[in-house]
Amino acid sequence: MCEANAYLIKDQEPELIMEAVDTIEPEDGGFKLVNIFGEQKFVRAAIHSLSLVDHKVFFKKDES
């Protein structure tokens, strides 16, 4: 399986926002996350970094 966990960086610390993410789609100034169970979540943030070996996607809100 190649799913990833999604994290939102808050105060320099990653906070898990969704496990087993299967798809990430850009949508209305953010991203729609869908996991392998069909659960959906919208995150209004930018992709900060990816750790493909560790199956992690990091998002960070624009602080301007």
38 in Cβ contact with 21 (< 8 Å): no
- For the question of whether the overall pTM of this predicted structure is more than 0.75, the answer is yes
Hey, where are the domains in the chain? Answer: 4-60
- Give me the phi and psi of 10, to 5 degrees please: -130, 130
Mean pLDDT by 10 residues, the chain (64 residues): 92 97 96 98 97 97 76
- Burial of 26 from C-beta contacts in 10 A (0-12 / 13-18 / 19+): exposed
14 in Cβ contact with 4 (< 8 Å): no
pLDDT of residue 25: 98
pLDDT of residue 43: 98
pLDDT of residue 12: 93
